[in-house]
Amino acid sequence: MLLNELRKKITAIDTQLLDLISKRAELVKNVGEVKISSDTHTYIPEREKQIFENLKKQNHSSLSNESIVSIFTEIISACRSLETPLTVSYLGPEASFTHSAAIKKFGSSVNFVSQNSIDAIFYNVERNFSDYGVVPIENTTEGTVSYTLDKFANSKLKIVSEIELKISHSLLSKEDDINSIKKIYSHPQSFAQCKNWIINNLKNVELIEVSSNSYAAKLSSNEPNSAAISPKIAASRYNLNVLAESIEDSEHNSTRFFIIGKNINAPSGHDKTSLMFSPKEKIGALYEILRIFYNYNINLTMIESRPNKKISWQYIFFIDIEGHYENDIIKKALEEIKNSSTDFKILGSYPQK
């Protein structure tokens, strides 16, 4: 077929797609009107999860499921903004990994607000200055972000969703030749994650540690012969060239983020529940609690302890399990755990990533 003919067909399909997307948008606007009268949240993570699962099942095209999910994330994001434009706080600065995670979860039709601390994110969501917040919770190489876990002990906010992001670093610079780089800015963790690549690819460069990767990109954008190790999205933000991509030493470098808010999610069919508790002070207390999960055949996907700030040498345990707290088995198990512990709190049930 001639190029012109192919393009004519593509244009005709685009027209059909536009018509269908417009129809979808009108329906979502109607959903928004129904929600106002029933006081329901605009963002319903369990419904979005079901939409994606359904599309993945039906996808027999040459497009990957990942591509389908990212296309529909943007369609849903644009439609959702017709109900109410959401405000989402993330751990900044702009172009940080948390910003990327926020965009991956909510799409781009959202008001994103950069915050300079995890505290500020919790504060803004608690006071309704933001509808949701995005906070890092654990990294495959660095482990859990204890500061985020500690915040849950004293907050009424819920975990409404989670997202995993592959952490990939790029070498960004105003220069277009890697050999002209004399200085590199980055966060100490990023230098550590790209150590071998730097040794093998750059000779006699000065490594300068700064507070964030996006700040590194900003500094480098004002300085000749310098570069930054940053996420790739910082290149367009600071007008830099991408001199090298995926320069991290380990292939498996991912960070998991929580979306925090005030939703109480209904089951999506494939959920996780996060909870915290302190075992009572007696021999075998933790063993007894873990045994309850075993007895009910409940799978634990994360366990982490943090000092209980109220009593010295006592600990709060944070646990993620598979299943929704409205499920009968989970309900029974959690009731038993509540009776065998103190400071028990369900932090949220949310669709598995």
Site for ligand PRE, rule CB under 6 A:
28, 31, 43-44, 47-48, 51, 76, 79-80, 83
- Minimum separation from the CB atom of position 50 to ligand PRE (A): 9
Nearer to ligand PRE, 24 or 232 (CB): 24
Nearer to ligand PRE, 50 or 305 (CB): 50
Q: Is residue 172 helix, strand or coil? A: strand
**Which pair of structure tokens corresponds to residue 272?**
């996780």
- Minimum separation from the CB atom of position 80 to ligand PRE (A): 4
Nearer to ligand PRE, 163 or 242 (CB): 163
**d(Cα 21, Cα 15) in Å, to the nearest integer?**
10
Q: Looking at the DSSP assignment, which residues form a beta bridge with residue 260? A: 133, 159
Nearer to ligand PRE, 47 or 104 (CB): 47
- Minimum separation from the CB atom of position 341 to ligand PRE (A): 34
- Minimum separation from the CB atom of position 15 to ligand PRE (A): 22
- Minimum separation from the CB atom of position 249 to ligand PRE (A): 38
Nearer to ligand PRE, 44 or 235 (CB): 44
Nearer to ligand PRE, 28 or 219 (CB): 28
**d(Cα 208, Cα 227) in Å, to the nearest integer?**
10
- Minimum separation from the CB atom of position 35 to ligand PRE (A): 7
Q: Is residue 244 helix, strand or coil? A: strand
Which residues touch 184 (CB under 8 Å, ≥6 apart)?
Answer: 171, 191, 198, 202, 205, 206, 207, 208, 226, 227, 228, 229
- Longest Cα–Cα distance in the chain: 79
- Minimum separation from the CB atom of position 24 to ligand PRE (A): 7
**d(Cα 72, Cα 141) in Å, to the nearest integer?**
31
Nearer to ligand PRE, 79 or 102 (CB): 79
Nearer to ligand PRE, 132 or 191 (CB): 132
Phi and psi at residue 207, to the nearest 5°: -105, 120
**d(Cα 58, Cα 244) in Å, to the nearest integer?**
36
Sign of CA dihedral 104, 56, 54, 255: negative
Q: 15's torsion region: left (phi>0), alpha (psi -120 to 50) or beta?
A: alpha
Question: Which uninterrupted H or E stretch holds 54?
Answer: helix 45-58
- Minimum separation from the CB atom of position 82 to ligand PRE (A): 9
- Minimum separation from the CB atom of position 44 to ligand PRE (A): 4
Q: 236's torsion region: left (phi>0), alpha (psi -120 to 50) or beta?
A: alpha
> In Å, what is the CA distance from 199 to each residue of 37, 176, 282?
61, 20, 52
Question: Which uninterrupted H or E stretch holds 144?
Answer: strand 143-144
Nearer to ligand PRE, 185 or 257 (CB): 257
